[in-house]
Amino acid sequence: MTAVHPVSPRRVTPDRTGLLLLIFLLTSALLLLSHNREWLGTLGGVGALLRNPIVEAVVVSLFLANILFAYLWRAAPWAKALVGLGSLLLVLPWAGQEDTSLLDLSIQIMIFAALALGLNIVVGLAGLLDLGYVAFFAVGAYLWGIFASPRLAEILRYYGENPGATNAGTLALGLFLTAVTAASMVAINRHHQRVPPTRASSWGFGLASFGLVAGLILSARALLVLNAFRAEGLANGIDPNFFWLFLALSVLAAAIVGVLIGLPVLRLKGDYLAIITLGLGEVIRVLANNLDLYSAGSQGITPIGSASVGWFDALAARLGFAEDQYGLLFLYVLSLLMVGIILVVNVRLDRSRIGRAWIAIRDDEVAAQAMGVPLVRTKLIAFATGASFAGVMGMIFAAKQTFVSPESFNLFQSIGVLSMVILGGMGSFPGVILGAAVVTLLNLRILPGLGEATANLSWIPQQANPGQLQRLIFGVILVAMMLLRPEGLLPSRRRTLELHHEGDQEDDSAKGTGPSLTGGGGDVYSPGLETRQEDEPAGGTR
Amino acid sequence: MTTPLILDVQGLTKTFGGLTAVNDVTFGVPQGGIISVIGPNGAGKTTFFNLITGIYAPDRGTIRLAGRNLVGLRPDQVAAAGIARTFQNIRLFSSMTAEENIMVGRHSRLKSTFLDAVLHTRGFHDSEREARETARIMLDFVGLSKWRRELATNLPYGDQRKLEIARALATTPKLILLDEPAAGMNPRETEDLKALIRSIRDDLGVTVVLIEHDMRLVMTLSESITVLDYGTKISEGLPHQVRNDPAVMEAYLGRGAAAGDYGKEAR
Amino acid sequence: MDLATLLPFLVNVIAGGLVLGFVYAIIALGYTMVYGVLQLINFAHSEVFVTGAVVGFEVFRVLTPSPMNGYLKLLIALLAAMVISGLLNVTIERLAYRPLRNAPRLVPLITAIGVSLILQDVLRLIEGFQGRFDLTYTLPDGFSGKFCGAESSCAAVGSTLARLGLDLQLKDVILIVVALLSLAVLNYLVNRTRLGKAIRAVAQDRVTAGLMGIDSNRMISATFLIGGALGGISGVLFGMKFGTVNAYSGFDPGIIAFTAAVLGGIGSIPGAVLGGLALGVIQNLIGVTNIFGGLLGIANLEAIDASYQRIGAFIVLVLILIFKPTGLLGKSNVEKV
């Protein structure tokens, strides 16, 4: 009995160091040229062509493909490093100096790359289809948006005018209630680790969590009322130096919201989870639309501040950036850093006890649990981790846009991030980054370019303008990838093996949970035959 | 001399709608035993395992592992308490290698946390090393070392069953429940399996309970056999006692056919 | 407002909710039947339903100048919508879901979302190339008028209803009649015919049904055909009720109808109807909470406006799934291990 396993012969790829460097130089030159207004002006017709938004998108895509080539091709390590770092740290900012929209686009790509990496943990590793992922992005964006804008002063003013019966005593009561209920929840939880929960202890836990929410609301309200007098001093939001603190807070807040949303819904089966998360995502958006005091409703919050870092601005000035570009450049470097950190965290988690538990749950919940993996807790960690990435990028998004409104957080953002993950390959880190780049370019450059190009064509009415074909594109990505290449463009090793293996199976189990009767390939177990032979002599022992 | 019971099940009952799948079953497993549960198809054997491992909650009855009550615990808590299992329809993690499958089995015994993994602390490296080492030992133990880096579902059928056993053993259980471990194995593989099961008990000191249809395996391996039929325990005792119990023959072959041999039970 | 004015008001809100509920019920049937046979949330069903609404719009638009009887126009619209939506649903299953029958569960689910998105834009483009986005129904004369108004031959019925405080339009009554007829036909089809029996067998256990000689693929196609036809009917009814649809209108009723299916117990046909009616009423009640809030003196309720109606459905969905995942009429489904 030997299984024939599909080990493809290792293809010996030629070393492509030279080609890589050549392409890097060519595309960099093209990028720099096409984003320099003066040079373009001297080129006449070619210059006009290069300014076309679709051509520009192609140029940017070609340039970004460098990084992909550096990752994929076999080449000298120094060349890979040179191309990767050179592209991101030298050429892109340089070109961005001439055309800040390029920096903006790069930041947008990185924001989506981080979101895709976060969703990849939830969908790709843990196998939980979350259709409301963008809600966590909104949490980070609104957290910073409220505090770093005139909104904060408005809120304080409101509470100053409507203090109710709130005073210092309320704050004490709120904090006390919070502490007591939190402590009892921890205690009950610990108790449950040892003995099975009883009706009384479960109700106790529910009561305590209710008390916790009440305590938090009381404390927050009291804090707002007591600080109402500061409203005048905070006309433009809090001091920009709090940016760093809020970076940490946005991670925490999104993770907490992730846990709060996850707790009730993660017990549900996969497809119910999809529709519930879709719903909760919409709930957060509707709340943002309706809680006018906090979110300014559909008008959105603006202007939102950003950090200002002295030494960074000085450095940017030395490098020849204009003063109004400092902020964007700073956010560019910051998001690059964040994507780097998130990528490292992802890779490390993937190759750890928790990452294995996620994949085990994705593969087979029942078996994972029987092997000692606590389902809800493990799924919650996935949810919270994915959420925290979205939270921090939400904050960067708010700082970049200087404006947040509920429309940035609708269902299509979630679907968009999902299609990035699917396009690149569920569970594959380089894949989802690639997916993010492709989908973002399509979305922000190619579609608007198409829309512009066709705006004046009489046979395409405005109602059929291709500039708004996001749904079609997302849909085609999702369907085509699922049908033709479910492992994605840059598949993770695991996923390729699994999906192609499943494709080989015969229809022996309609519910998909039955035994796999074919081992690898060709080695088909024939039910009954061998066992019967074995049983016959056994029967004769009587 | 009486050996202490490692698993003590009293009056276990479970109904699904109108069907009583397990009816008032009392079942004791002595420390270090190899016990078989047999019965015709649909007798409630797998349901019985699912009750013990916490997948279903019993309607009535108690389950004690070395004196500790398990009723109400989730399956992962039961696993942590010391009961590991395999499944009738193999449930390996299909996108993982043989080694990784076993490392998942180690989950509840590893100490490293989320932060350990993110920061690559010493605790993380220690626990990874420990998990890998366990995987190596277990693969060795079941004789699958050559498949270490192979995707679990690419293994031959019989080896998949062994891998499931290795994965279960990686949880360092006190008791292992094997659900039809010989199903689909040829005579040669079944012989190997028999030796493996003995070795689980003798070398690892893990008590074994198995559900099995292969009567030759059951008769030669078990120290005691429990027979379920329609969810009720109809016989219990040493292999030769059970074999000659008219109630058992009736259960397998129907009334009036007790003279036949039940070994021919169709699978 | 006192009780004398509140009561007729309430009666109207509930009656309106029931009318709405019948539309949801018919949509919910499409979800529940497909879920029954494939355990798949057919996200594309909302677009199958919108397709029906678009077909209905086109039929009424084309037939507007014709002197044909209004009910005949409606019949043509319903039949056209049933055929097109039904065939569309079968095609979707054939092309997008069937190749994935044995894939991990997430795969067909994601595909379904993708199909839904594609159809949204395809519908938008089809109408968009004619310069239309919002499609406003041109209903036959009288459909939007009062049911049994003063001049009609059944004025006595109308005045009785008016005394009860019921303010129904003719199209509401037509809607209820069409919905009830469809339910009756469906009930006959599923419970009284060989086809229905085979579909139920496939839903229960596809493998065993196959061993009994039932071609499960054909039965799945039949289910999609029936579900799609129901989607077509509900689309026309939805268009009649609300007057305006566009390519993206499927989302909200889709979600609400799915919630209805879960509330009733997914896979259960009477459950879907019950759930649909319940959600129609709930939605209408949420829509008027500000009025109740004012009546009861609860200031906070006033803040709850129509935009919360959608959230209402979700909250109902979350609560059911947490406390009674099998729904009102669903059977408990123990996963085989």
The residue in chain A having the minimum alpha-carbon distance to the alpha carbon of residue C116 is A475
Among A482, A505, A511, the residue with its CB nearest the CB of C114 is A482
Q: Do B107 and A366 touch (CB under 8 A)?
A: no
**Is the distance from CB of C320 to CB of C56 less than 8 angstroms?**
no
Domain ranges of chain C: 13-323
Question: Inter-chain contact A519–B157, Cβ cutoff 8 Å?
Answer: yes
Task: Let me know: does A94 contact A319? Beta carbons within 8 Å.
Answer: no
The SS3 of residue C244 is: strand
Asked if C337 lies within 8 A of B16 by C-beta distance, the reply is: no
Answer whether residue A294 is part of any domain: yes
The reply to whether A220 and A285 lie within a common domain is no
Number of domain units in chain A: 3
* A540 found inside a domain: no
Q: How far is A36 from chain B (nearest CA, A)?
A: 42
pLDDT at residue A499, as a whole number: 56
For residue A315 the two structure tokens come to 């450095």
| Residues A92, A117 within the same domain | no
Contact criterion met (CB below 8 Å) for A110 and A96: no
pLDDT at A496: 59
- Cis omega (within 30 of 0) on the bond before A303? yes
Rounded to two decimals, the pTM is: 0.88
> Which residues neighbour A311 within 8 Å (Cβ) at sequence distance 6 or greater?
none
3-state secondary structure labels for all residues of A488-526: CCCCCHHHHHHHHHHHHCCCCCCCCCCCCCEECCCEECC
Confidence tier at B204 by pLDDT (50, 70, 90): very high
CB-based contact A376:B59 (threshold 8 Å): no
Write down the pLDDT at residue C239.
Answer: 95
Domain C13-323 has CATH 3.30.310: no
Instruction: Give the residue numbers spanning the domain of A40.
Output: 14-98
DSSP states of chain B = --PPEEEEEEEEEEEETTEEEEEEEEEEEETT-EEEEE-STTSSHHHHHHHHTTSS--SEEEEEETTEE-TT--HHHHHHHTEEE--SS----TTSBHHHHHHHHTGGG----HHHHHHT-HHHHHHHHHHHHHHHHHHHHHT-GGGTTSBGGGS-HHHHHHHHHHHHHTT--SEEEEESTTTT--HHHHHHHHHHHHHHHHHH--EEEEE---HHHHHHH-SEEEEEETTEEEEEE-HHHHHT-HHHHHHHH-TT-TTS-GGG---
Q: Are residues A273 and A129 in the same domain?
A: yes
The residues near B38 (Cβ < 8 Å, ≥ 6 apart) are B45, B211, B212, B213, B215, B218, B225, B226, B227, B228, B242
In-domain check, residue A263: yes
In chain A, residues with a C-beta closer than 8 Å to the C-beta of B181 are none
Q: Sort strands B224-229 and B175-179 into parallel, antiparallel or unpaired.
A: unpaired
**B46/C337 Cβ within 8 A:** yes
The answer to whether the CB atoms of A471 and C121 lie below 8 A apart is yes
Burial class (CB in 10 A: 0-12, 13-18, 19+), B4: exposed
pLDDT tens digit sequence for B140-156: 999 999 999 899 989 99
Same domain (yes/no): A119, A268: yes
CB contact under 8 A, B80 and A349: no
Task: Decide: B224 and B236 in contact? Cβ < 8 Å.
Answer: yes
Task: Let me know whether A171 and A197 are in one domain.
Answer: yes
d(CA B214, CA B185): 10
Could you state, in chain order, the average pLDDT of each consecutive group of 10 residues for chain A (542 residues)?
46 80 91 82 78 84 90 87 90 87 93 97 93 94 94 88 82 92 89 77 86 90 86 82 93 93 81 85 85 86 87 88 89 95 95 94 94 94 96 96 92 93 93 94 89 82 83 94 92 63 38 32 29 31 30
Instruction: Tell me if the domain spanning B1-82+173-267 has CATH number 3.40.50.300.
Output: yes
In chain C, helix, strand, coil percent, each to 5?
Answer: 75, 0, 25
CB A394 within 8 A of CB A140: yes
Q: Which of A235, A262, A289 is the last residue of a domain?
A: A235
Q: Are residues A322 and A382 in the same domain?
A: yes
Across residues B61-65, what is the average pLDDT?
Answer: 94
φ/ψ of residue B227, rounded to 5: -110, 125
Mind listing the pLDDT tens digit for each residue in B72-114? 899 999 999 999 999 999 999 988 999 999 999 999 999 888 9
Is residue C106 within 8 angstroms of chain B, CB to CB? no
State the Cα–Cα distance between residues C314 and C255, nearest whole angstrom. Answer: 8
Question: Considering all CA atoms of chain C, what is the largest pairwise distance in Å, rounded to the nearest integer?
Answer: 66
A404 located within any domain: yes
Residue C105 with chain A: CB contacts under 8 Å: 270-271, 512
Query: Of C35, C88, C36, which Cα lies nearest the Cα of C231?
Result: C88
Half-sphere exposure of C108 (CA within 13 A, CB side): 23
Asked if A301 and A398 sit in the same domain, the reply is yes
Is residue B25's pLDDT more than 50?
Answer: yes
Q: Does the residue A515 lie in any domain?
A: no
In a domain, A248, yes or no: yes
Centre a 10 Å sphere on the Cβ of residue C89 and count the other Cβ atoms it contains.
30
Helix or strand holding residue A126 (H, E): none
Q: Which residues of chain C fall below pLDDT 70?
A: 1-4, 289-307, 309, 331-337
Instruction: Measure A223 CA to nearest chain B CA, in Å.
Output: 32
At residue A231, the pLDDT reads: 80
Neighbours of chain C (3+ CB pairs under 8 A): A, B
DSSP codes of every residue in A433-488:
HHHHHHHHHIIIIIHHHHHHHHTT-TTS-GGG-GGG-HHHHHHHHHHHHHHH-TT-
What pLDDT is recorded for position A198? 80
Residue with tokens 């096409």: A34
For A540, residues 6+ apart whose C-beta sits below 8 A from its C-beta are B261, B263
DSSP string covering C105-143, please? THHHHHHHHHHHHHHHHHHHHHHHTTT-SSEE--PPTTT
Domain with CATH 3.40.50.300 in chain B: 1-82+173-267
Q: Count CA atoms closer than 13 A to A457's CA, side-chain side.
A: 13
Dist CA C230 CA C49 (whole Å): 8
Q: Are residues A245 and A383 in the same domain?
A: yes
- Which one-letter amino acid corresponds to residue C13? V
CA-closest candidate to residue C173, choices C143, C134, C218, C212 = C143
Show the tokens assigned to A254: 């999104």
| Partner-chain contact A372 B79, CB within 8 Å | yes
* Segment holding A20, helix H or strand E: helix A17-34
CA distance A202 to chain C (A): 14
| Nearest-angstrom CA–CA distance, C40 and A265 | 18
Q: Would the ipTM clear 0.90, i.e. be above it?
A: yes
Strand partners, C166: none
